[in-house]
Chain A
Amino acid sequence: MSNIRNFSIIAHIDHGKSTLADRLIQWTGMVEDRQFRDQILDTMDIERERGITIKSNTISLPYTSDDGVEYELNLIDTPGHVDFSYEVSRALASCEGVLLLVDASQGVEAQTVANLYLAMEHDLTIIPVINKIDLPAADVDGVKEQIERELGLDSDHVLLCSAKEGIGIDEILEAIVARIPPPTGSAEEPLSGLIFDATYDSFRGTVVSCRIFDGQVKPGDIIRMMYHGTVHKVEETGVFRLTREPRKQLSAGMVGYLIAGIKTVSDTRIGDTLTLEARPAAGPLPGFKEVKPVVFASIYPVGNDDYQDLADALEKFKLNDASLVYQKDSSAALGQGFRCGFLGLLHLEIVQERLEREYNQSIIMTVPGVRYRFTLADGKVITVDNPLYYPDPSSIKGEEEPFIRTSILIPERFVGAVMKLCLERRGVNSRFQYPSPGRVEINFDMPLAEVIIDFYDRLKTITQGYGSFDYEIIDYRPTSLLKLDILVNGEKLDALSMIVHKDRVREWGVRVCDRLKDEIPKQQFKIAIQGAVGGQIISRSTISAFRKDVTAKCYGGDISRKRKLLEKQRAGKKRMKMVGSVQIPQSAFVAVLKTENE
C-alpha cells in the first residue's frame, strides 16, 4: 500500500489537463509513441473536439521512481465542468492528492478556485503546476503571485511544465511520489469502497470504478451497495490500464473496477459505498448525494415516425449516463417526445450532440427551463419543470424559483459590463472581492433560469474571453411568473411555450418572434407569428409568402437540373416539422436560444 499514489488533475477548462494526462501516460511507458493519439483518455469525439473531459476515465500507471522504487500511480480523471461537480467531488474523495494545473498565460480562473476548494474540503495534498510555460504569452511570475495571493498556496513549491512540449514531466512524477501520501486503511477491516464512476459495457454490463478504503473484494464475493441497498455477486475485479486488466482482488488503498452483473449504470449510484454482504462495514462513507437535475427541456424526433427510435436511443444512452432523467412528454405541435432533466446546460448540450452523432437521431430540443415551485389556493405545493403543466394562474398563491450564487472572476476593467449583465439577469445581493491587484471576483445571487440560456456566451463576449464563471445552487426564492405562448398562424406552438419572469416576458416575446421570422422559410402562405400571455398578444412578426418563384425556361435540357434542385429542396423540407400548415425547420427551435450577436 505504501507504493500506491491516488491522484487527480484539476484545472480550469483549456488549461491542459488532458494533455498533461497524455504526457504522464507516455512517460510511464503505458503506450508506445506510435500508438499514441492526443487526449487518450477522452474517448468521445465531442471531448476531443471541445477539448473537455465529459466522462472521467481512470488509469493505473506503473512508475519506477528515481531511487528505484516501483509505484502504482492511479490517475483518476475528472470531468471538467461545473455541471458535474458532484462526480468531481466523488473522484476527489478517492484521492490523496491533486495536481492543480494553471495555464501560464490565463492564470487562475473561476474553476481553478472552485476545484481547489473541493480539493481542500477533502484534505488533499495539493501540488500546484503551471502549464504552458513555453507560450510567448506565459507570465510565470504573475501566475505564481496569483497562486500565492488568490489561492493561498506556497509558490515556492510550484512546478513548471509544458505538457505539450514534454517539459517538466519527470519533476511532476517525482513530486507525486514524494509529496502525495500513500493511502491508509487496512485490508483486514470489513470492505468499504467508494463508487466514483460507472460505465456501461455492452458485453459485461456495468463496470463500477471504485476506490477501496478498507478490506478487500474478489470474484465470488456478495457485495451490497449501502445506500441503494442492492446486492450483487462479483464476477471480476481488476485495474485500469489502457484497457481493463483483471486482478485476483482489490484491496485497501487500490483503485480499480468490479463487474457484478449489474445491468444498467442507473442501478449504481455514484458516491455509494460497497461492502460485503457477509461482513458489512459499520456505516457508509460520507458525502453521498442523490444527483438531481436542474435544467429541463423536451426532446422530440423530427419525424413523427421516429419516436420509437428515439425512445430506444435514450434507453441506451441512459445505460451509460445515469444523470440523465427523462419521461414521456407530448406536444400538440411536435407529437410524442420526452421531457428530460439535465445536470446543467453543458450536460444538456452533450446529450443533444451525442444523441445526434452517436445515436443518429434527428431531434428538436425545446427551450430549456428550470423547476419552479407553486403554492396553490388549496395550500398544496407543486413543482413544475414543464410549461405544459403550468397551473391555472387564478389558482396560484405563491411562486418560487431556484437561485444560484455565481462566482465570476474577471480583470477589473470589465466590472461595469459584467455588473450590467448580471443586473439585467435579475442578479441581486452583489459582493466583490479583490483576490489580487487588478482582479475581481463578483458574487451575485441570480435566478438559475437567467443563466441557462446564453449567459456564459454573453459573459465571454463582454469580457473578451477573460471572464470565467462558476456557480452553486443555493435556494428557492419568491418570484413572479407568467407563461409565454407562441402562436404560428393562430395555432399554439406549445413546444415553444415557456415560463418567464414577468419583467422579462415582453423581451422574450419579441425575441422569439424575431428569431422565428429569420428561421422559418417563406412558404406559399403568409405566416403570422405572435407571442401571447393569456389571451393577450404581446409581440408579433410576419413572414411574407413567396411572391415569385418560377423558372423562366424549362425545356428538354433543363428538366434533370430542375428535378435535382427539387429533390434537394424536398430533402430539406423533410427535416422540418409541420405545425398546422407551416413548416418549421429544426434550426428555428435552436435559434431561439442563441445570443443576438451570433
Chain B
Amino acid sequence: MDHPTNSGLYVHLPFCKTKCPYCDFYSVTDATLISAYLTALNTEAGLYREQFPGFDSLFLGGGTPSWLGEAQLAGLMKNLRRHFTFAPDSEITIEANPDDITAEKLTLWRDLGINRLSLGVQSFDEGELRFLGRRHTAKQTEAAIDLIRAAGFTNLGLDLMYGLPGQSLDGWLKTLEQALSFAPEHLSCYQLTLMAGETPALRTPMARRVARGEISLPDEETQREFFLLTANFLTARGYLHYEVANFARQGPQAGSLCHYCCRHNVKYWTRTPYLGLGPAAHSFDGRRRWWNFSSVKKYCLSLNAGEAPVAEAETLTPEQIRLETLALGFRTRAGVSLATIREHPGADAVVAALTQAGLVRVDRERVIATLDGLVVADRLPLEFGD
C-alpha cells in the first residue's frame, strides 16, 4: 500500500438541533449520543493510521459540527492529530450554522487550527429561511459573518440554495448580491433537489409535500435559467466557476488561480484518496471505495466490538474508473484529459460533435464542459461508449 500524503480526511458529525425538511443527509437530533459517538470515532480513526498516515485537508462536515461543545471539538481534534499527521499548510474546514457562531467558539476553532469556514447561510430572505426550516434569520447570518471576519478567518465559504418553490430570478439575485457584500472567498450554490427516495418513508418531508402537490419546484427551463444566471453573475463578479455548484474568488498569489477552491472537495472530483470517518461516511483509496453504516448506534456497536463499521465496499473495475473519471471531470473546470477520453472508442468524433454543439471545448489537451455543457453535465459521460 502506498502512503499518499495528499489524501483528505472527512469526519462526519451527524448531529443537528433540528432536521431541515429538505435534507437527506444522515443525522440525528439526540445530543446525548455525542460523547459515545466521539469515543467510537477515536477507535475508528485508530483502524486507519497505517493506511492513511498523512493528510493535507480535513473537513468536519455534518450534520452540524458547529453544534459540538468546545471540549468535545477540542478532544476530537486532539485525537485526530494523535492518529494522523497533517501537513503544515493543511486546509481545515468546519461546517457551521449561523446561529451557533459565538466569538468564543471562533477563537477556539482558530486555536485548534481550523482555517476555513463553510457557513450554512442558504438564503438572506426571511420567508425562504422559514420555508427551508432554518433556525437562523438573515440578521443572525450578518452578525455571524462579522464575528467570523473579526476572529481573523480569511477563508470563508457561504452555502446558498436556489430554485425554491415560488422563488423568482430577481429574488435569487438579491440573495446573491447580499452574499457578495461580505466578499466571501467561496460560494456554493445548490439547486434545491428532492432526493427521490425509494419509498415515501425514505423521502424528505419536503419531497412528500411536493408529491402531495402542495408545493412545486421550477420546471426544467426555469432551473436552467437559475443555473445560467448564477454562473454568469458570479463569473462577472470575479469568481471562478470551478465546479457545477462551486465558485471561488481569485487568490492573493498570482499563478494560483484556485487558491480559494476547496482543496478537500476537489479531491472527490479528481479521485484523490480520502478517508471518511463516522456513520455513512465514504472512503476511497484509488481503487476501492467503502462506506459505513448509516446509523450512529450500529456504528458505535461495531467499533465497540472491535470491528470496522463498514456497511459495503466495492473495488472499481477499469471501466468503472473511466466512467467516474468522466462523470466527475465534466463537473469541473479542469475537465477530463484527452488521453483519458481517447480510451473510449470513437471519442474524437464525439468530442467534435459536442464541441460543435457548444457543450465542450478542448483546451491544452483537456476536454472541458462549457457553461452550456455544465447544465447538462450528467449526460456528457453517456456520450462516450465503453
Q: Which chain A positions have C-beta within 8 A of B203?
A: none
List the A side residues contacting B357 at CB < 8 Å: 524-525
Stretch at the interface among B48-56, B126-134, B169-177, B279-287: B279-287
Shortest distance between the CB of A526 and any CB in chain B (Å):
10
A278 an interface residue at 8 Å Cβ cutoff? no
- Residue in contact with A524 in the complex, picked from B10, B269, B282, B379, CB distance below 8 Å: B379
Contact A556/B284 with A562-B327, A566-B327, A566-B381 known, Cβ cut-off 8 Å: yes
- A243 near B: Cβ within 8 Å? no
In Å, the complex CA distance between A293 and B381 comes to 46
With A547-B220, A551-B193, A552-B193 known as contacts, the answer to whether A559 contacts B289 (CB < 8 A) is yes
Q: Which one of A523, A555, A562 has the greatest number of beta carbons of chain B within 10 Å?
A: A555
Q: Report whether B281 and A556 are in contact in the complex, using a CB–CB cutoff of 8 Å.
A: yes
Q: Which residue on chain B has the smallest CB distance to residue A557?
A: B282
Q: How far is the CA of A552 from the CA of B375 in the complex (A)?
A: 10
Interface: B221 (CB within 8 A): yes
Q: Which residue of chain A lies nearest to B380 when distances are taken between CB atoms in the complex?
A: A524
> What's the Cα separation between A473 and B179 when bound, in Å?
78
Inter-chain CA distance A570–B326, complex, in Å, is: 13
Shortest B167–chain A CB gap in Å is: 15
Inter-chain contacts of A550 with B (CB < 8 A): 227, 244, 331, 374-378
Shortest Cβ distance from A585 into chain B, in angstroms? Answer: 14
- Is B282 touching A548 in the complex (CB atoms < 8 A)? no
> Is the CB–CB distance between B289 and A566 below 8 Å?
no
State how many angstroms separate the Cβ of B292 from the closest Cβ of chain A. 10
Cross-chain contact of A560 among B224, B227, B281, B314 (Cβ < 8 A): B314
B44 CB to nearest A CB, Å: 16
Given contacts A524-B376, A547-B221, contact A570 B327 (CB under 8 A): no
- A309 within 8 A of partner (CB): no
Which residues of B lie under 8 Å from residue A562 when comparing CB positions?
327
| Known A524-B379, A546-B376; contact A557-B320, beta-carbon cutoff 8 A | no
Contact yes or no, B327 A548, CB < 8 A: no
Interface of B is mostly: mixed
- Closest residue of chain B to A522 (Cβ to Cβ) is B379
- Give the A-B pair count, Cβ closer than 8 A: 102
Query: A556: nearest residue on chain B (CB-CB)?
Result: B282
Kindly state whether residue B383 has any CB partner on chain A within 8 Å: yes
The answer on a CB contact under 8 Å between B327 and A560 is no
- Distance of A347 Cα from B10 Cα, bound (Å): 62
**B354 x A554 contact (CB < 8 A):** no
Chain B residue contacts of A553, Cβ below 8 A: 190, 193, 245
User: CB distance B10 to A552 under 8 Å?
Assistant: no
CB distance from B143 to the nearest CB of A (A): 27
Given the known inter-chain contacts A525-B357, A552-B191, please indicate yes or no for A559 contacting B379, CB distance below 8 A: no
In the complex, chain A residues whose CB is within 8 Å of the CB of B193: 551-553
Which residues 533-583 of A have a CB within 8 angstroms of B? 545-557, 559-560, 562-563, 566-567, 569-570, 573-574, 581
Whether the pair B244, A556 counts as a contact (CB closer than 8 A) is: no
Is A556 a contact partner of B382 (Cβ separation < 8 A)? no
In chain B, positions 364-386 with a C-beta closer than 8 Å to chain A are 374-383, 385-386
Please count how many residues in chain A sit with their CB below 8 Å of the partner chain's CB atoms.
Answer: 27
Give, as a whole number of angstroms, the nearest-CB distance from B30 to chain A. Answer: 22
Residues from chain B with a CB closer than 8 A to the CB of A556 are 10, 268, 274, 276, 281-284
Contacts A552-B244, A554-B244, A556-B276: A563 and B379 contacting too (C-beta < 8 A)? no
Write the nearest CB–CB distance from A572 to chain B, whole angstroms. Answer: 9
Shortest Cβ distance from B218 into A: residue: A548
**A-facing mask of B301-329, CB < 8 A → 1, else 0?**
00000000000001000001001100110
Expressed in whole angstroms, the minimum distance between the Cβ of A396 and any Cβ of chain B is 40
Contact A548 B224 (CB under 8 A): yes
B 41-94 contacts with A by CB, 8 A: none
Q: Taking the complex as formed, is B291 at the interface, i.e. its CB lies under 8 A from any CB of chain A? A: yes
A557 to B62 alpha-carbon distance, docked (Å): 12
Taking CB atoms, residues of chain B closer than 8 Å to A566 are 323, 327, 378, 381-382
**Residues of chain B with a CB closer than 8 A to A524's CB:** 354, 357, 359, 376, 379-380, 383
Instruction: Answer whether residue B295 sits at the interface, using C-beta atoms and an 8 A cutoff.
Output: no
CB distance from B234 to the nearest CB of A (A): 15
- Residues in chain B near residue A567, CB distance under 8 A: 320, 323
A545 to B359 CA separation, bound complex (whole angstroms): 12
Q: When chains A and B are docked, how far (Å) is the Cα of A581 from the Cα of B349?
A: 10
B353 within 8 A of A: yes
Q: Are A557 and B280 in contact (CB under 8 A)?
A: yes
Q: Is B140 an interface residue (CB 8 A)?
A: no
List residues of A (9-54) whose CB comes within 8 Å of B's CBs. none
Q: Does B265 contact A (CB under 8 A)?
A: yes
Is B223 an interface position by the 8 A CB rule? yes
Partner of B323, one of A523, A549, A563, A573: A563
Residue of A with least CB distance to B292: A557
CB-CB under 8 A from A554, the residues of chain B are 244, 268-269, 328, 331
Contact in complex: A547, B245 (CB < 8 Å): no
A-side contacts of B324, CB under 8 Å: 559, 563
> Within the assembled complex, what's the spacing in Å between the Cα atoms of A524 and B375?
11
Which chain B residues (171-192) contact chain A, with CB distance < 8 Å?
190-192
Distance between B284 CB and nearest chain A CB, rounded to angstroms = 7
**CB-contacts of B90-112 with A (<8 A):** none
> Do B245 and A548 touch across chains, with their CB atoms under 8 A apart?
no
Name B386's contact: one of A563, A569, A570 (CB within 8 Å): A570
Chain B residues, CB < 8 A from A548: 220-221, 223-224, 227, 375-376
CA distance A567 to B319 in the complex (A): 10
- The CA of A553 and the CA of B10, in the complex, are separated in Å by 16
What is the CB-to-nearest-CB distance from A470 to chain B, in angstroms, rounded to a whole number? 48
26 A-B residue contacts at CB 8 Å? A523-B379, A524-B354, A545-B376, A546-B376, A546-B379, A547-B220, A547-B221, A547-B223, A548-B376, A549-B375, A551-B244, A552-B192, A552-B245, A554-B244, A554-B269, A554-B331, A557-B282, A557-B291, A559-B268, A560-B291, A563-B320, A566-B327, A566-B378, A566-B382, A567-B320, A573-B382
Q: Which 7 A-B pairs have the closest CB atoms?
A: A548-B224, A550-B377, A552-B191, A556-B282, A552-B190, A547-B224, A546-B376
Interface contacts beyond A550-B375, A567-B323: sample of 4 additional A-B pairs, CB < 8 Å, sorted by A: A524-B383, A556-B274, A557-B276, A559-B327
